[in-house]
Amino acid sequence: MSHDPKEPRLPAHACGCGANLNRRTILQGAALGIAGLAGVRPSFAQDAADAMPPQAGDFLVSSLGTTPLSPEDIRLNSNPTEAWAMSPDGVVRSGEFTNSILLLRYEADALPPESAAMAGDGVLGYTLICTHSGCPLNTSLDGELIACDCHGSRFDPKSNGKVAHGPAKRKLPQVALAVADGKLVIAKGFDSRIGGDSVGDDDR
Ligand code: FES
């Protein structure tokens, strides 16, 4: 997702950039509206599962689908693919914007050992949320780096999301991935806190 911070989208995101809704959220909102008109309400259990962060054993699905992704679905040495975790019983955890995951794929033997340890057949997974002040990251790479257009931070996806250029000071939270029966799965949830560190400050 490429995000122009000047373009407002509702509801407003905590970083002040105006971003929050994505295509799945909009579709879910439309579906809930229709359900409400029909007198149908989703269960609280479903709501809670939607909002849970990615869990070990979850599959990964694209922003628009519910078919578990395989490593080959992620373009090699290319821009990130935006994805969500989906529980084994089919609940897509898109209830919280901060659960969104960026997937990038490399040749497994081209990754340094510390990144290879977090990869599923060369696929790496990072939060969509910048650690500076919480803007959504750009889904187009800047060279080989994950970029944030809000204040210019850059993160190295091949080095566990470490900061390549500030103002961000903290690496990107990362999920550990694995492959089971040809499908990408979460081996371990995010390794650090999701969100910006400078929300409420002057954000520079
Ligand atoms: S929010 Fe990403 S650089 Fe400031």
Lowest mean pLDDT among 23-27, 66-70, 146-150, 159-163: 23-27
Per-residue pLDDT tens over the stretch 97-123: 899 999 999 999 999 999 999 999 999
pLDDT of 38 reads 37
Residue nearest to atom 1 of ligand 1 (CA): 133
Q: Is residue 204 part of a domain?
A: no
Q: Is residue 96 part of a domain?
A: yes
- What CATH number is associated with residue 147? 2.102.10.10
Q: Is residue 2 part of a domain?
A: no
Which residues lie with the beta carbon below 6 Å from any ligand 1 atom?
A: 15, 130, 132-135, 148, 150-153, 167-168, 196
Q: Is residue 99 part of a domain?
A: yes
Q: Is residue 154 part of a domain?
A: yes
Q: Is residue 80 part of a domain?
A: yes
Q: Is residue 13 part of a domain?
A: no
Per-residue pLDDT tens over the stretch 10-59: 333 444 444 443 444 433 433 333 333 333 344 555 568 888 999 999 99
| Residue burial 51-72, b: 16+ Cβ < 10 Å; e: rest | ebbbeeebbbbbbeeeebbbbe
Domain count, the chain: 1
Give the number of C-alpha atoms closer than 13 A to the C-alpha of residue 53, restricted to the C-beta side. Answer: 15
Domain of 83 in residue numbering reads as 23-188
Residue nearest to atom 4 of ligand 1 (CA): 151
CA distance 97 to 20: 6
Q: Is residue 145 part of a domain?
A: yes
Q: Which atom of ligand 1 has the smallest separation from the CA of 153?
A: 3
